Chains A and B, each alone.
Chain A
Amino acid sequence: DIVLTQSPVLAVSLGQRATISCRASQSVSISSINLMHWYQQKPGQQPKLLIYRASNLASGIPARFSGSGSGTDFTLTIDPVQADDIAAYYCQQSRESPRTFGGGTKLELK
């Protein structure tokens, strides 16, 4: 199985940039298509798709969210961080079955 590793917690100040990383145990890219996706989950709510295929913004998601990376290293950036962005963030790969998720990064206020 492809293991996705995220830092458990990231503390940021409002208005600053948050950079959330996700490292895969093996490449999740196929012929320049990066099969890594990002979700936001607020307490008591279902996950919401933010970014698909590493860098594509999902419908209705604000432009302060962006994604980058390829191969095994991927990043979700929030700039600037707003109060509404305090949540958990998960990466997910679809390169191989089983589909796997990272353990999640909880974004907290400094």
Chain B
Amino acid sequence: EVQLVESGGGLVQPGRSLKLSCAASGFTFSNYYMAWVRQAPKKGLEWVATISTSGSRTYYPDSVKGRFTISRDNAKSSLYLQMNSLKSEDTATYYCARPEGGYDYFDYWGQGVMVTVSS
């Protein structure tokens, strides 16, 4: 059974940093691209980052480019999101998700972790 379990969320002040983790199990982690998707309170879904199988390629929307860094450790079957220079608009539930193949739909999602950016 595929499982994605996020951790590392919490309350952080604007301008500070936070690192999220996602522990994957139930599939061969190193064979899959991985991604982060977020959802602000009472709002819709927003793709945040994607990383290739080896970690050599990363992709971001303009809203987080230069502030967020996605990374992975295939030996530990773990995905990370380093978030720097956090803003109040980054307040959201962050989901770890697995994009399927070349079509990039998200076939598995974690339960999510809440990040609140507030002073």
Contact = CB atoms under 8 A, between A and B. Distances in A.
Interface in A52-110: 52-53, 58, 90, 92, 94, 97-104
In terms of DSSP, what is the predominant structure of the interface of chain B?
strand
Contacts of B61: 97-98
Contacts of A46: 95, 109-112
Interface in B94-114: 95, 100, 103-112
Given A98-B61, A103-B44, A53 B103 contact: yes
B47 interface: yes
Interface in B37-75: 37, 44-47, 50, 59, 61-62
A35 B103 contact: yes
A52 B100 contact: yes
A53 B45 CA distance: 18
A94 B46 CA distance: 13
Contacts of B112: 46
**Tier of interface size on chain A:** 20 to 34
Interface residues of B, number: 21
A24 B61 CA distance: 18
Interface of A: 33, 35, 37, 39, 45-49, 52-53, 58, 90, 92, 94, 97-104
19 contacts: A33-B103, A39-B45, A45-B111, A46-B109, A47-B45, A47-B109, A48-B109, A52-B103, A52-B105, A53-B103, A92-B45, A94-B103, A94-B104, A94-B105, A98-B47, A101-B44, A101-B45, A101-B46, A102-B44
Interface of B: 37, 44-47, 50, 59, 61-62, 95, 100, 103-112
